[in-house]
A and B are shown apart, each in its own frame.
Chain A
Amino acid sequence: MNTYSFKLRIKAKTESLLTVGMGKPIQFGVDVPFYRIYEVDSNGNSFQKTIIPGSTIKGALRSSAIRVAWMLDLKAEPSIRPEEISREIKDAVVNLFGGPSSEGRDESAKVIIHNATISFPKLIRRSRIRIDKKTLRVEEGALFTEESLPINAIISFEIEAINLNEKEIDLLFLSLLEMMYNGIGRGGLLKIEEIKCLEGEIPDTEIVKLIKEGGLLG
């Protein structure tokens, strides 16, 4: 069976306020701070950078893949618990996104998802409140602050795919499309604007043809 390796760059735009949270509310003075990493330079100075972690995107893609696997006649266990992922069925999502390793089976992921960079990350800080489900009043002590990325913020990330067969390529692209409806982070919606192949070759499978016709894949 032919396998293909390629590298994609995906450019997307936020369609709603998007929050990818992290811990440390005290350090950043907000209850749900947006995800940041430290970067250092060679002089030992450190500064913060706002990003969307690859693990968030990978998780969102995996969820999407589970939802769409049936369209490609593929089987996928709707679970992420190692003990629940069935070893009996040939799980397409585990093959693509990796799973708990077991004897004789190479379960490492065939896709590497890098952290997403955000162009001009200007975060919005907003206060939110939880509503009591019984009385429909604001719940006492449930006021919280959250940092979000505004609508129309541009994000881009890279996906490296190694030795994917045609079915897996279809599953990956279909998951990318599904992710636009599934959302990412805390209820954020993304619109993929462009998928660019940076390296390697993508075969013209059914899904790839559809995406090309739609003008997404350049």
Chain B
Amino acid sequence: MVSSHNKTKLYRVTIKLLSPTILTKKYRRNIYEAISGQIYLPSRAIRGALLEAFAREISVRYGIIRKKCFSPESEEELCKKLVEEIEDPFLRIQPAYPIYKNIKAEPAGPFVFRRKMLLERESNVSSYSGNSSRELFSCIKLSELLGAISLEELIKKIPSVKEGYPKTLLGKLIIVNNSKIEEVDIPIMRHESTAINKIYYKAEEGMLFSYETLPAGLQFRTTIFDGLGFLAHFFEKLELGNEIEVFIGRGRTRGFGRAIMRFNELHIEEFVEKRAKELEKIGIRSTCALKALSPIIRITDGLHSRPYLEKIEYPPNDIKSVCPDIPEATLNLRKLGAEDKELWMIFGDLIKLKGWSTSYRGSGPIPSYYAGMPGNLYVYEISSSDPLKALSFMEITGTDEFSAVGYNWFKVVDKEEVI
């Protein structure tokens, strides 16, 4: 039995947006641009929304001022637990990806392409009835990726420009529907609003705002690994049933970002066994390809970062302390021969991490670092007594302490075509 700590719980969580949601990538002047392409809810956003929702419930139920719910001096037991979780995060929340055509979307890897032009044979035929070359395709098989020993070998797999100018879809959301790769198309809406002058009741000059929003009704799915029974405790004390109303993104007091989070408890052992069997079917043994679901980062000296983890010692200490039966594993990033040198087997791009924290100790900018982009592929060699089980656990707990704040989440590539 793995969950030796009887408080350990695993939840499958569905987040449904009830109103348009402003998840901004950046804003220039008065225009708030929605995140586009990579639409997912980062763990940090879900964590914040959940803790804030608990604070609101405590506030309403016990008449405690909301600000005091986050105060370390608070005497209410639930407030103390909230502060503990904020100061030393333990909840492991996987980044939530949207549901499209009833399938959970994922970021495309660097080997997924779309041709910009039809191939010559197709453009000459007026009624082409076969699969169009404009459809998305993967250019490499998992066995080819895992077995590659030189860079040249992989370069040959990349389709040339003569093949209809293919362009990689790295990071864009995709699903596999009836064995076909499809791009996720979520309508983004732009709302214009203006401030009204409170004396003359006319539009205030220079105060026109534009917001791009994700549509209401959009659903996201994720898992939450709760090693200390934190959520179960709150649900019981606040009599919440299995759902809670949360607010995500900007403008929550004026109709944006209202969402409902539904929790469905899973049996950890069964969930992991099932996943391990799926990985076994695909033939994963001592080498595996991991796809990043969140930014991948290792901070080297406080100021600098690396967009990869060259060695992963799993499980991290905090997880190990509550679940000592999780099989241990060491993952080493593989190297690839390239002319006279060796390169890490990482395929993808970089993103810059930055943002703003509204911590209860005072808000401020988050330091900016370069990190690996969601969708990046990393090839690891794994040594463990039970590698498949360890990988299955890694998918629901994250790889290290950084996973508690939303970074370093992977998914094992589990399809023959690398997407």
Interface of A toward B, CB cutoff 8 Å: 2-5, 22-24, 37-44, 46, 49, 53-59, 62-63, 66, 78-81, 97-98, 101, 103, 106, 108-109, 111-115, 162-163, 199-200
Query: Which residue of B is nearest A36, CB measured?
Result: B189
B185 touches A55 (CB 8 A): no
Spot the interface stretch: B63-71, B259-267, B384-392.
Answer: B63-71
Bound CA–CA A3/B62 (angstroms): 10
Bound CA–CA A57/B191 (angstroms): 15
- Other A-B pairs, 6, CB within 8 Å; known A113-B254, A162-B66: A40-B217, A40-B218, A46-B215, A56-B193, A58-B254, A66-B198
Chain A neighbourhood of B186, CB < 8 A: 40, 44
Chain B neighbourhood of A163, CB < 8 A: 59, 63, 65-66
Bound CA–CA A61/B207 (angstroms): 18
Chain B neighbourhood of A53, CB < 8 A: 191, 193, 254-255
Which of A38, A56, A59, A101 meets B216, CB within 8 Å?
A38
- Interface residue? B90 (CB, 8 A): no
Closest 8 CB pairs of A and B: A54-B255, A55-B254, A38-B215, A23-B192, A109-B253, A5-B60, A39-B217, A115-B255
Which of B100, B190, B215 meets A24, CB within 8 Å?
B190
B60 touches A199 (CB 8 A): yes
With contact pairs A22-B191, A55-B255, A112-B252 given, residues A63 and B63 touching in the complex (Cβ less than 8 Å): no
Chain B neighbourhood of A23, CB < 8 A: 190-192, 210
B187 touches A114 (CB 8 A): no
Pull 10 A–B residue pairs with CB atoms less than 8 Å apart, ordered by A.
Answer: A4-B63, A24-B190, A42-B102, A53-B255, A55-B254, A57-B255, A59-B196, A62-B198, A78-B198, A114-B258
With contact pairs A54-B256, A59-B196 given, residues A80 and B67 touching in the complex (Cβ less than 8 Å): no
B215 touches A39 (CB 8 A): yes
Chain B neighbourhood of A58, CB < 8 A: 253-255
B201 touches A63 (CB 8 A): yes
Which of B56, B100, B196, B362 meets A162, CB within 8 Å?
B56
Bound CA–CA A58/B254 (angstroms): 6
A135 to chain B, nearest CB (A): 23
B254 touches A162 (CB 8 A): no
Query: Which residue of B is nearest A24, CB measured?
Result: B190
Name the interface residues of B243-287: CB closer than 8 Å to any CB of A. Answer: 247, 251-256, 258
Query: Which residue of A is nearest B204, CB measured?
Result: A80
B253 touches A38 (CB 8 A): no
A118 to chain B, nearest CB (A): 14
Chain B neighbourhood of A54, CB < 8 A: 19, 253-256
Bound CA–CA A39/B217 (angstroms): 5
A38 touches B65 (CB 8 A): no
Interface of B toward A, CB cutoff 8 Å: 19-20, 56, 59-60, 63, 65-67, 99-102, 184-187, 189-193, 195-199, 201, 204, 207, 210, 213, 215-219, 247, 251-256, 258, 362-363
Chain A neighbourhood of B101, CB < 8 A: 42-44
Query: Which residue of A is nearest B105, CB measured?
Result: A44
Chain B neighbourhood of A5, CB < 8 A: 59-60, 63
B4 to chain A, nearest CB (A): 37
Chain A neighbourhood of B256, CB < 8 A: 54-55
Bound CA–CA A71/B184 (angstroms): 54
A200 to chain B, nearest CB (A): 6
A92 to chain B, nearest CB (A): 14
Chain A neighbourhood of B213, CB < 8 A: 37
A202 to chain B, nearest CB (A): 13
Bound CA–CA A110/B213 (angstroms): 23
Which of A4, A40, A43, A57 meets B102, CB within 8 Å?
A43
B102 to chain A, nearest CB (A): 5
A108 touches B253 (CB 8 A): yes
Bound CA–CA A178/B190 (angstroms): 31
Bound CA–CA A163/B62 (angstroms): 10
Bound CA–CA A50/B236 (angstroms): 38
Q: Which of A39, A40, A58, A113 has the most CB of B within 10 A?
A: A40
Bound CA–CA A186/B382 (angstroms): 65
A98 to chain B, nearest CB (A): 6
Bound CA–CA A43/B99 (angstroms): 8
Bound CA–CA A207/B225 (angstroms): 48
Bound CA–CA A32/B244 (angstroms): 37
Query: Which residue of A is nearest B245, CB measured?
Result: A160
Chain A neighbourhood of B251, CB < 8 A: 55
Query: Which residue of A is nearest B201, CB measured?
Result: A63
With contact pairs A42-B99, A42-B102, A162-B66 given, residues A115 and B19 touching in the complex (Cβ less than 8 Å): yes
Chain A neighbourhood of B20, CB < 8 A: 37-38
Which of B67, B193, B197 meets A106, CB within 8 Å?
B67
With contact pairs A37-B216, A53-B255 given, residues A22 and B192 touching in the complex (Cβ less than 8 Å): yes
Which of A63, A79, A113 meets B253, CB within 8 Å?
A113
B24 to chain A, nearest CB (A): 16
Which of B56, B60, B192, B198 meets A63, CB within 8 Å?
B198
Bound CA–CA A24/B213 (angstroms): 15
Bound CA–CA A135/B20 (angstroms): 45
Chain B neighbourhood of A78, CB < 8 A: 198-199
Chain A neighbourhood of B253, CB < 8 A: 54, 58, 97-98, 108-109, 111-113
Bound CA–CA A85/B276 (angstroms): 59
Chain A neighbourhood of B254, CB < 8 A: 53-55, 58-59, 113
Bound CA–CA A113/B59 (angstroms): 18
A38 touches B252 (CB 8 A): no
